[in-house]
Structure 1
Amino acid sequence: MNLAEAIIHKNIEKHPLKSAIGFKKKEGWKELSWKKFGDMVFKTANALRDSGIQEHDNVAIYSDNSSEWMIFDLAAMAIGAVTVPIYSTNNAEQAEYIINDSKAKAVLVGNQAQYDACFELLNKEENSLQTIIISKKAVWIKKEFSSFYLEDFIAKASPELEICKKEYEDTATLIYTSGTTGTPKGVMLTHGNFIKAFDAHFEFFTFKNFEEELSLAFLPLSHVFERSWSLLCLYGGARVYFLEDPKNIAKALEEVKPTMMCAVPRFFQKVYAGVLDKAQEGSSLKKKIFDWALRTGWETAELRRNEKQIPFGLKFKESIADRLVFSKIKERMGGRLWFLPCGGASLSSEVTRFFESVGIHVTVGYGLTETTATLTLFPLTHFEHGTSGKPLPGVELRIGESDEIQARGNGIMKGYYNKPEETQKVFTEDGWFKTGDAGKIDEKGNLIITDRIKDLMKTSNGKYIAPQQIENLLTNNNYIQQIVLIAEGRQFVSALIVPNFEFLEDYRKKNNVPFTNWEEFVRKEEIIHLYKDKINALQHDLSDYEKVKKFILMPAEFEINTGEITPTLKVKRNVVLKKYADLIEKMY
């Protein structure tokens, strides 16, 4: 079955007038009903077909999140074409590589820089690109036969469409890996990968009244996590609102008031650390109330997790804790969030326990682009904090050589586009996908991630260091934004630390610390001692060989456009280690 058909036809038949998607227009949020959403998808599909796009052709999307992004995605799939997402933060060179490698014939762009980058491609030899479609009229286009505003592109197209029939094994999308190591590869995911994965999620969770849920898409739709989650929500008939600029997430949460939303660990760490910092700043009475509320919340959360009855007295105490403390935390997140899938990296048990105590279920999961996002995740009850949950129905896991997690099942990719040798490398002879991550499975069937096999470090003393776990521990503190551990072949662990400049600015004002610029500020003895104290406190329970002995505070954040981090905020360890090699050597 075609994924576009599975989403659009089913929901138009069930509730044509119910809202399907939402988007910001000027200062207010607007919605499209399922009927109008379907009409837009079908008009776009017909316009693509009229422009010469045929079944099996590749078409790219190089844009920020928007309703047009999702409409174009489903439209391409509806005519049997293959969608190729490009991160909106990718530069012209990176976008050119993906368009050329995929041989995309058309591209949807969202802003001027994206348009200009694609327009340059049209004039190059051996270029497959024929048509550029622009979602916003604010973009200035050169009046050429190849450039069209989306509104004009679909103006004369029919809203009636016979969706292209697809088999489960037919490719639906090419998602290029973000390239933390090596050249990006196009992961081929099929219509069946998505549909079977979505069905497995609904079997796993048995949601009640899922059609009444509202999700806010703020992570990049170009990444498999947000794309899969948003498509799953639409597949199940829920509403999805699209946030174009993730920096506006705090305001959007209050305006949209979502009930569900997927997020990366840093989002939860920042909320957690921010709440704890604020609690510490309060009076002794407020601190006592906060601590009591957390203990009460934790007690009830544990009973719910194990599906045990909550005594009346404890329920009463929980209602007071909610009124005094938890409701204020939840209001800052819109007031209605209850279900938050978390992926991209591991999340410490302290953070998941905190959110459960507050009354928000963080569903920690594990997966890759190559596995259509989810392999494992927390169920609604009987999950284990500190793990990555249990396999979805239809997913099998085993632990191979070097403790590598291997998988097979519904979501496993078809392979890497035009790279048979690379594809062969990641599959065992008996057909299991090799994730490249190390882990173990506990006696209850929960997956526990150790680290990326390539990231495991061995000190000169022969001790193995799993950097992700230590980095997660240290970034649970609100004074640390990003961190990169160094240990391979060294006599001790050191780190490059990017401070959270927002909180450092608050510290500076409260303590009247003189300021010229950040370069000078992070070198001050007072600031270095501040971070030494915080790091020593945070790593108190680590083994001595795992502790950070020396560190350097960076004067600026690692950036996407410099290639230091991926669009999903994962640090490109090799890039950072090479770029700051001289700085690192000074610590040894």
Structure 2
Amino acid sequence: MNLAEAIISKNVEKHAIKSAIGFNKKGETWKELSWKKFGDIVFKTANALKNIGIQENDKVAIYSDNSSEWMIFDLASLSLGAISVPIYSTNNGEQAEYIINDSNAKVILVGNQYQYDSCLEIIKKGNTQLHTIIVSKKAVWINKELNSFYLEDFIAKASSKLDICKKEYDDIATLIYTSGTTGTPKGVMLTHGNFLNAFEAHFEFFPFEKFEEELSLAFLPLSHVFERSWSLFCLYGGARVYFLEDPKDIVKTLSEVKPTMMCAVPRFFQKVYAGVLQKAEEGSPVKKKIFDWALEIGWKVAELKRNEKVIPFSLRLKNSVADMLVFSKIKERLGGRLWFLPCGGASLSPEVTRFFDSVGIHITVGYGLTETTATLTLFPLTHFEHGSSGQPLPGVEVRIGENDEIQVKGNSIMKGYYNKMEETQKVFTEDGWFKTGDAGKFDDKGNLIITDRIKDLMKTSNGKYIAPQQIENILTNNNYIQQIVLIAEGRQFVSALIVPNFEFLHDFITKNNISFTNWEETVKNEKIIKLYKEKINELQSHLAEFEKVKKFTLMPSEFDINTGEITPTLKVKRNVVLKKYENIIEKMY
């Protein structure tokens, strides 16, 4: 079955007047489209694409921030049997050009002036495949003589009646180019069946009640497999999805939209966690005592819930008081209604998941890759294990192969890399298992525990193996540390490049009357270095001696997407950073 048909046709018939999506244009209030209107716009867009020659298996690219238009264009392309190709909105023109050329995209949707200008330049350079640029916002200037159209005008005269292209489960739905912490991006071929099987596996795994009444906020980039799969899954199940265009507005948006569900990356939860603890530490002794008492009560309740045990009346009563005094204020900052929060992209320490569970917000930690249509394993609603990555979804097989590599099989595994047969063969074993490149193990209850990326494992000159992600995760749980990169390969001890959380550091400087000229000078200040030494020593006190950071350098600015130091999903490109700051690193040794 066609993925778009499974989402649109089913829900238009079942929930015609119910809200499907929400969006917010600059300076306006949030608006919604019913399933009937949403379906009409998707089909009008599909027919408009058909009118300019887009056929089955043609590539249609999307180079834009999150928006309702993003999802409409995606589902319209799929309705025609075309193959959608998302491009990160933060990609520069050169990166976008590579994906457009490699995929042979014929039409592209863009969201802002830079994206439009970049695509116009690609056409001027002589790209003969890309023939039409569609722009979602009329604030963008376009050259109408060069096949450029505003989306609103593009679909104005198109019909809303469409015979959706029939598709088999094995037919390609999308090419998602890996952001790539190393090497050249590769187009991951995911099929209609990959998505539909993954969706059904989730509904089999979770006993959702009245799923169509849920509201999800699309906060992460739709160009990434995690948010895209999650948002499509929500729409598939009849839930509403609101689209946040600028992730910097997340705090304000949470209070406006009040979502019940939202997928997020570990850094989001780490910042909330560290912020709450910091505020508690700065409060009066009485407030700190109440906070600690509330967390203790919340933890007892969370543990009983996790193990499906009865909560005594007296404990329920105490938890109600804890909620009124402490937890409700934390939950209100997140909109007040969040209860289901899938988390992926990197590991999340058990201290953070335990904290949120104690507060009454469940984080569903999972593990997966672009090549596996996102989720492979995840926390069930009960009997999960903090510190693990949960259990395999129905239809997913997981084994531990050579070098402790996690290998998987199942109907959500990609068809391969587009036009890269040799690269595809490298990531599959002879007996057909996909090699994830991650190292892991199972605990005695069948929960998967990720130890690290195999390529990231470091060996010191003393022969000790360091798993950097785990240590970096522990250190970034602190509010004063925004980003960190460990160095240990072939070295006698572990060192680190640390990007401070400049907002919190500025508060510290102000409170301690430290003179400020610029960050280059401030990060060299002896008092600041002393602060970070104390923080790091405290955070890593439980680590083995050989794992501890012995020396570090504070960086005067954040690692940046535009300079290629981090991916659009905020993962540090370790090789790029190590090469760029080679001189700084050598000084630590």
- Report if TM-score (shorter chain) is over 0.5: yes
Unaligned runs of 5+ in 1: none
Q: What residue in structure 2 maps to residue 249 of structure 1?
A: 250
Distance of 1:130 and 1:463 partners within structure 2: 55
Q: What residue in structure 1 maps to residue 456 of structure 2?
A: 455
Distance of 1:538 and 1:145 partners within structure 2: 57
Q: What residue in structure 2 maps to residue 114 of structure 1?
A: 115
Give, as a single letter, the amino acid of the residue that structure 2 aligns with 1:261.
Answer: M
Give, as a single letter, the amino acid of the residue that structure 1 aligns with 2:232.
Answer: L
Give, as a single letter, the amino acid of the residue that structure 2 aligns with 1:551.
Answer: F
Q: Shift of the alpha carbon at 1:144?
A: 1.4
Distance of 1:251 and 1:144 partners within structure 2: 40
SS at match of 2:145: coil
Q: Shift of the alpha carbon at 1:127?
A: 3.5
Match status 1:33 vs 2:46: no
SS at match of 1:105: strand
Preserved CA contact (<8 Å) 1:100 1:127 = no
User: CA deviation digits over 1:249-302, x for unaligned, max 9?
Assistant: 000000000000000000000000000000000111100100000000000000
Give, as a single letter, the amino acid of the residue that structure 2 aligns with 1:574.
Answer: N
User: CA deviation digits over 1:447-478, x for unaligned, max 9?
Assistant: 00000000000000000000000000000000
User: CA deviation digits over 1:179-235, x for unaligned, max 9?
Assistant: 111000000000000000000001000101110100000100000000000000000
Distance of 1:47 and 1:121 partners within structure 2: 23
Distance of 2:277 and 2:242 partners within structure 1: 30
Q: What residue in structure 2 maps to residue 328 of structure 1?
A: 329
- RMSD across aligned positions (CA): 0.5
Q: Shift of the alpha carbon at 1:128?
A: 1.3
Distance of 2:548 and 2:328 partners within structure 1: 37
Q: Shift of the alpha carbon at 1:143?
A: 2.2
Distance of 2:514 and 2:146 partners within structure 1: 59
Give, as a single letter, the amino acid of the residue that structure 2 aligns with 1:253.
Answer: L
Q: Shift of the alpha carbon at 1:509?
A: 1.1
Question: How many residues are matched?
Answer: 588
Relative to structure 2, which stretch is displaced further, 121-130 or 154-163?
121-130
SS at match of 1:448: strand
Q: Shift of the alpha carbon at 1:124?
A: 2.1
Q: Shift of the alpha carbon at 1:89?
A: 0.2
Matches within 5 A, 1:383-462: 383-462=384-463
SS at match of 1:437: strand
Q: What residue in structure 1 maps to residue 509 of structure 2?
A: 508
Distance of 1:301 and 1:371 partners within structure 2: 31
Fraction of identical pairs, as percent: 81
Distance of 1:136 and 1:287 partners within structure 2: 49
Q: Shift of the alpha carbon at 1:125?
A: 2.7
Q: What residue in structure 2 maps to residue 8 of structure 1?
A: 8
Q: Shift of the alpha carbon at 1:126?
A: 4.5
Match status 1:497 vs 2:502: no
SS at match of 1:367: strand
TM superposition score normalised by structure 1: 1.00
Match status 1:50 vs 2:45: no
Match status 1:221 vs 2:242: no
SS at match of 1:498: strand
Distance of 1:277 and 1:197 partners within structure 2: 39
Q: Shift of the alpha carbon at 1:377?
A: 0.2
Q: What residue in structure 2 maps to residue 371 of structure 1?
A: 372
Relative to structure 2, which stretch is displaced further, 360-369 or 136-145?
136-145
SS at match of 1:515: coil
Give, as a single letter, the amino acid of the residue that structure 2 aligns with 1:46.
Answer: N
- The list of structure 1 runs, each at least 4 consecutive aligned residues, that deviate by more than 3 angstroms after superposition, is none
Preserved CA contact (<8 Å) 1:104 1:129 = yes
SS at match of 1:28: coil
Distance of 1:409 and 1:329 partners within structure 2: 39
Q: What residue in structure 2 maps to residue 544 of structure 1?
A: 545
Q: What residue in structure 2 maps to residue 586 of structure 1?
A: 587
Preserved CA contact (<8 Å) 1:121 1:127 = no
Match status 1:305 vs 2:295: no
Q: What residue in structure 1 maps to residue 261 of structure 2?
A: 260
Unaligned runs of 5+ in 2: none
Distance of 2:334 and 2:579 partners within structure 1: 39
Distance of 2:252 and 2:571 partners within structure 1: 24
User: CA deviation digits over 1:501-552, x for unaligned, max 9?
Assistant: 0000111111111000000000000000000000000000000000000000
Preserved CA contact (<8 Å) 1:109 1:134 = yes
Q: What residue in structure 1 maps to residue 191 of structure 2?
A: 190
Give, as a single letter, the amino acid of the residue that structure 1 aligns with 2:497.
Answer: L
SS at match of 1:133: strand
Give, as a single letter, the amino acid of the residue that structure 1 aligns with 2:5.
Answer: E
